[in-house]
Amino acid sequence: VKLQDLPTPCAVVDLDRVEHNVERFSARARRLGVRLRPHVKTHKCLEAARLQVEGHFGGITVSTLAEARCFAHGGFTDITYAVPIPTDRLAEAVVLARRVDRLNLLVDQTTTVEAAEEVARATGSSIDLFLEVDSGGGRTGVDPESDDGVRLAQRIAASSDLELRGILTHAGQAYDCRNRDAALEVGTLERDVMTGFAARLASAGVPVQEISVGSTPGFAAVGDLAGVTEARPGNYAFFDAFQAAIGTCTLDEVAFSVLVTVIGVYPRRREVVVNGGALALSKDPGPVHVDPDCGYGVVASAYGTRPIHTLRVVALTQEHGVIRAAGELDLHQLEVGTRLRILPNHSCLAAALHDRYWVARDEKVVGEWRPVRGW
């Protein structure tokens, strides 16, 4: 099968680029001296995860219990579910934990810790926990400056039904960066906040073994992770238009794209409409802090994936993508039936809308990956 034969819209994964990206971050983890526990939420499929862990200890990070179950079934035995565990899924997590060597759950609330202790006691099991720390992202995690975080760590450590495996953070503010220098600062801050908090815990009688950090922009830029034990970048397997805009990768490294077809040409508006809307690309506003006119992704040639910077995806509805030309619309190059490739702003969200990815090498389809869906 060739790319030309695929029905559109469809998700295409460039295998050469995935292999290159995985090797790039794998080498970085070795150079920085940390264990790599890649996040698999971007692609959610076994094949890509197996490439990511090659040469490493084999641990992965997941964003749903559905992923944890699927990857456990696929042979992964050391899994961190890196979203605070909802109390109504604790019992299910305990059952799943019995099938693997290690299932780490994330907590930052006393109520959740108490619920976990109750479930552990009722089921005669011990639950492995990471305490989440807010290193400036402002989403979840305990405040590393407050005493509450130390008390919660002590509460977990004192429980005979719970194991405090370590502390974990995701400095999500790395996505507000405009360039690599700014991401280097975030990556360094993330390290310092975590090693500082670990030192506070140690002096409060709770030494922790694992210090886990990680985002793709921070990990790509940071120069030194002394004191940190593991990193969890994930987006790098595919990268996307956002990462290219903030300097984490080049457009040539973006491995995930959506193949679309022109379904209407409107020369007076200098626009064409393609069959890739919000349900094929996702509606992530993208790196507007770097380029306010970035639109909903980068338009590229269907074959060869060469960026066409004079075209912008200016609007999306459910099944329509509106592409506007900066100058005259070239009616010969963009007629009904013309195919284009869109590199979405956020590959994690765009990929999650597709129930299969066509895997291509040199424009030839060499495989088909089926991601896990749901929660």
Under the criterion CB under 6 A, does residue 135 sit at the interface with ligand PLP?
Answer: no
Cα–Cα nearest to 62, from 87, 34, 88, 42: 42
Number of shown-chain residues binding ligand PLP (CB under 6 A)? 11
Under the criterion CB under 6 A, does residue 216 sit at the interface with ligand PLP?
Answer: yes
- Strand boundaries in 218-345, DSSP class E: 230-231, 256-266, 271-274, 298-301, 307-316, 321-325, 339-343
Under the criterion CB under 6 A, does residue 39 sit at the interface with ligand PLP?
Answer: yes
Place of tokens 């450590």: 157
Among 170, 283, 312, 346, binds ligand PLP (CB under 6 A): 170
Under the criterion CB under 6 A, does residue 214 sit at the interface with ligand PLP?
Answer: yes
User: In sequence order, what are the beta bridge partners of 265?
Assistant: 272
Under the criterion CB under 6 A, does residue 82 sit at the interface with ligand PLP?
Answer: yes
Nearest residue (CB) to ligand PLP, 62 versus 150: 62
Q: Which stretch binds ligand PLP (CB under 6 A): 26-34, 198-206, 210-218, 285-293?
A: 210-218
Least CB distance to ligand PLP at residue 207 (A): 23
Q: Which stretch binds ligand PLP (CB under 6 A): 25-33, 185-193, 213-221, 264-272?
A: 213-221
Cα–Cα nearest to 311, from 291, 289, 296: 296
Cα–Cα nearest to 168, from 100, 85, 239, 99: 85
Report the DSSP pairing between strands 298-301 and 162-168: unpaired
Under the criterion CB under 6 A, does residue 351 sit at the interface with ligand PLP?
Answer: no
Among 58, 59, 149, 233, binds ligand PLP (CB under 6 A): 233
Length of the chain: 375
289 phi and psi angles, rounded to 5 deg: -75, -15
And the tokens for 302? 């269907």
Under the criterion CB under 6 A, does residue 187 sit at the interface with ligand PLP?
Answer: no
Nearest residue (CB) to ligand PLP, 170 versus 324: 170
Under the criterion CB under 6 A, does residue 248 sit at the interface with ligand PLP?
Answer: no
Q: Is 79 exposed, middle or buried (0-12, 13-18, 19+ CB in 10 A)?
A: buried
Nearest residue (CB) to ligand PLP, 8 versus 61: 61
d(CA 37, CA 76): 12
Nearest residue (CB) to ligand PLP, 71 versus 311: 71
Residue type, position 307, single letter: P
User: In sequence order, what are the beta bridge partners of 311?
Assistant: 325
Contact present, 203 and 167 (Cβ < 8 Å): no
Under the criterion CB under 6 A, does residue 232 sit at the interface with ligand PLP?
Answer: yes
Contact present, 359 and 367 (Cβ < 8 Å): yes
Least CB distance to ligand PLP at residue 40 (A): 10
Under the criterion CB under 6 A, does residue 215 sit at the interface with ligand PLP?
Answer: yes
Under the criterion CB under 6 A, does residue 104 sit at the interface with ligand PLP?
Answer: no
Under the criterion CB under 6 A, does residue 155 sit at the interface with ligand PLP?
Answer: no
Least CB distance to ligand PLP at residue 83 (A): 7
Q: Which residues bind ligand PLP (CB under 6 A)?
A: 39, 61, 82, 170, 214-216, 232-235
